[in-house]
């Protein structure tokens, strides 16, 4: 297969569990045409709709039968079975990342978490629409066995259960782990990726999509104007330091108590910043609200920055010294890619300022360009944490667009094989 990157081939895709749109943004940048996306949270879907459906960067031709609003796969299957079946032969790719909380190695792994079973709905959609290709993204734990609680042999990783079901539907399945930092993302985010090719379209038995993807890596970085080295955190967010900008009241409301950065554009941006700022001129990105920390919290953050090793999670002794029970606290190392972002903004502290990151700083670390607006409220808590997807959660859950793009380009190459 040629490693030349072809953005002119416009395959049609559906994005399931789309979130705010990281994967779709990447696929669109790779030349794919969106049909529709499925996302159950209203805030995440509003962000998606604002940027990728209604905005000037839209690449969707939304079907008339489907409202442009939040929904679930289950609702789609129940309401529109005939319309979905009619899409057979018209959709090249079904992509998506089912919710992963029950599989995550960073949290409490729970094989009975009901969100784990959403992969079954993904498979039902694949069976109904029968696309040429499938793409499934998830956390590393998706491919790890759950420990047995009865002393019996550990259960088969759920990824292998999904693989078998997709093979039964006629797909050749390939899977591997990809680290975002290898593809220009300033973040050591490793994810499990599964690619399926309908066997009737699979003409080259020696083809492995992941081999082709890695072969394309250098040319991809060059096409983005990025170096063939890891992008550092400070390359991504150093222009967003409070000391390098000005502060203004958020939404112009002094009573709210929140402030935001009044952005001052850089005259000599580095390669990564140039990519993120493309087309923005001197315009400020959104989601620059600074967290409103209590004085005692700022003192605690300064102590953490003083005693920690940047980029390394605090030890038990350090947590005891600080007086916190929080398990995962890490200060960013400005000279390295970030640790994996999570949906909890206080998991990572800024490398030089005593605060958590802004939503925009997280978006930069995920490789969202500055024109991509993040919408909705900033945070949520309590029982709503599992029911809502505010800005920090949207960004933390997203597929880095640069990763989505190189996967999309790889699939373009496969699609050219006769």
Q: Which residues are catalytic?
A: 100
Question: Which residue is listed with tokens 């200060």?
Answer: 331
Angle between the N-to-C axes of helices 22-29 and 401-415, in degrees from 0 to 180, rounded to the nearest 10: 50
**Alpha helix locations (H) across 192-277?**
209-223, 233-237, 271-276
Contact yes or no for 349/291 (Cβ under 8 A)? no
Instruction: Of 388, 353, 394, give the one whose Cα is nearest residue 373.
Output: 394
Contact yes or no for 401/25 (Cβ under 8 A)? yes
The 8-class DSSP code of residue 50 comes to: I
Angle between the N-to-C axes of helices 401-415 and 209-223, in degrees from 0 to 180, rounded to the nearest 10: 120
Contact yes or no for 72/40 (Cβ under 8 A)? yes
Contact yes or no for 293/355 (Cβ under 8 A)? yes
Angle between the N-to-C axes of helices 118-129 and 158-168, in degrees from 0 to 180, rounded to the nearest 10: 20
């Amino acid at each position: 297969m040629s490693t030349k990157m072809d953005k002119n081939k416009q395959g049609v895709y559906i994005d399931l569990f789309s979130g705010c749109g990281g994967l779709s943004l990447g696929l669109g940048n790779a030349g794919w045409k969106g049909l529709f996306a499925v996302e159950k949270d209203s805030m995440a879907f509003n962000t998606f709709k604002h940027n990728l459906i209604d905005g000037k960067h839209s690449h969707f031709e939304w079907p008339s039968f489907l409202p442009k609003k939040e929904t679930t796969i289950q609702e789609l299957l129940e309401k529109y079975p005939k319309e979905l079946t009619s899409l057979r032969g018209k959709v090249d790719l079904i992509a998506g990342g089912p919710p992963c909380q029950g599989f995550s190695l960073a949290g409490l792994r729970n094989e009975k978490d009901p969100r784990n079973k959403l992969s079954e709905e993904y498979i039902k959609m694949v069976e109904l629409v029968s696309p040429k290709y499938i793409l499934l993204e998830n956390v590393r734990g998706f491919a790890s066995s759950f420990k047995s609680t009865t002393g019996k042999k550990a259960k088969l990783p759920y990824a292998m259960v999904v693989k078998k079901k997709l093979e039964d539907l006629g797909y050749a399945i390939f899977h591997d782990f990809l680290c975002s930092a290898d593809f220009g993302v300033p973040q050591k985010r490793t994810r499990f990726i599964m690619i399926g090719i309908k066997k009737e379209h699979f003409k080259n038995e020696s083809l492995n999509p992941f081999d082709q993807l890695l072969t394309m890596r250098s040319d991809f970085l060059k096409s983005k104007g990025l170096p063939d080295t890891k992008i550092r955190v400070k390359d991504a967010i150093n222009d967003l330091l409070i000391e390098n900008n000005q502060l203004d009241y958020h939404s112009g409301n002094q009573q709210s108590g929140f402030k935001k950065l009044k952005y001052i554009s850089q005259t000599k941006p580095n390669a990564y910043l140039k990519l993120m700022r493309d087309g923005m001129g001197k315009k400020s990105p959104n989601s620059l609200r600074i967290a409103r920390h209590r004085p005692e919290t700022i003192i605690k953050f300064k102590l953490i920055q003083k005693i920690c090793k940047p980029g390394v999670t605090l030890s038990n002794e350090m947590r005891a010294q600080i007086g916190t029970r929080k398990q995962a606290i890490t200060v960013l190392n400005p000279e390295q890619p970030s640790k994996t972002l999570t949906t909890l903004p206080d998991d990572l502290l800024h490398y030089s300022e005593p605060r958590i990151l802004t939503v925009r700083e997280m978006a930069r670390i995920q490789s969202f360009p500055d024109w991509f607006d993040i919408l909705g409220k900033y945070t949520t808590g309590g029982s709503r944490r599992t029911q809502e997807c505010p800005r920090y959660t949207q960004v933390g859950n997203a597929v880095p667009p640069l990763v989505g793009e190189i996967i999309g380009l790889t699939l373009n190459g496969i699609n050219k094989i006769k």
